[in-house]
């Protein structure tokens, strides 16, 4: 059995852009940041850490052939899309858009405060999927000092994937059309966790330091 090779990548080594209304860090090549050594990782194509100023955000734009999800760290995120989904996402919320054959959406800071969130894109295992939208909520209490599965493949155990039309919410991890499982935790100072990764070929761990 081969040993896991750990390759650390510090926050300051990521791509960065400051657009005044948006301060963003890119783990992989994105927009003006291009790095041939960090194009993707497995099915992961984008991990952007975005801080959007109050009253601003990403206007309506289009996507296709990506699984796109936003994980809210702090603040509130207003989501509108061409599937007629309108939602305000708060801390602990995650929304997953399976763009498939194509969708348009906008994401903006809601209210009079900025929003801090992660936007992650993965490549779908199946092309030309029908677009779908899901949301999930995971409280701080659920995640404190334990791993919580927040995203998992559609065929994984415990994943709700066939919700009724118009019922975008559900229990358990959000279903993704990629070989990708995402866990989240909020660790107390001095606490450590372990996690079995049977059959896993790649692991990507992102740490967001936060003052509590």
Closest by CA to 106, choosing from 123, 119, 93, is: 119
63 is an annotated ligand-binding site residue: yes
Helix (H) or strand (E) holding 142: helix 140-143
What is the secondary structure of 7-40 as a DSSP string?
A: ----GGGSEEEE-SSEEEEESS-BTTB--TT-S-
Question: How far, in Å, CA of 189 to CA of 192, rounded?
Answer: 9
65 is an annotated ligand-binding site residue: no
Contact predicate 65/83, CB 8 Å: no
19 is an annotated ligand-binding site residue: no
Q: What are phi and psi of 120, to 5 degrees?
A: -125, 130
Question: How far, in Å, CA of 209 to CA of 70, rounded?
Answer: 18
Question: How far, in Å, CA of 31 to CA of 209, rounded?
Answer: 25
Contact predicate 138/94, CB 8 Å: yes
Contact predicate 119/70, CB 8 Å: yes
Residue that has been written with the tokens 């896991």 in this structure: 4
105 is an annotated ligand-binding site residue: yes
Q: Please report, in range form, the residues annotated as the binding site.
A: 61, 63, 105, 107
Q: Please report, in range form, the residues annotated as the binding site for Fe cation.
A: 61, 63, 105, 107
């Amino acid at each position: 059995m081969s040993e896991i090779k750990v390759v650390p990548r510090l926050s300051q080594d990521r791509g960065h852009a400051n657009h005044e209304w948006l301060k963003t860090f890119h783990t992989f090549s994105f927009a003006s940041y291009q790095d041939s050594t960090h194009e993707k990782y497995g099915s992961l194509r984008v991990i952007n850490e975005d801080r959007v100023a109050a009253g601003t955000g990403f206007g309506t734009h289009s996507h296709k052939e990506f699984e796109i999800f936003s994980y809210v760290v702090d603040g509130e995120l207003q989501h509108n899309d061409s599937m007629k989904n309108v939602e305000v996402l708060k801390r602990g919320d995650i929304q997953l858009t399976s763009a498939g054959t194509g969708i348009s959406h906008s994401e903006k800071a809601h209210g009079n405060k900025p929003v801090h969130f992660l936007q992650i894109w993965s490549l779908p295992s199946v092309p030309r999927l029908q677009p779908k939208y899901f949301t999930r909520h995971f409280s701080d209490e659920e995640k404190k000092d334990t791993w919580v599965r927040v995203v998992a493949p559609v065929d994984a155990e415990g994943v709700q994937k066939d919700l009724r039309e118009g019922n975008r919410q559900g229990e358990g991890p959000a279903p993704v059309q990629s070989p990708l499982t995402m866990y989240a935790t909020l660790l107390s100072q001095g606490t450590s966790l372990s996690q079995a990764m049977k059959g896993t070929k790649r692991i990507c761990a992102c740490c967001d330091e936060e003052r509590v």
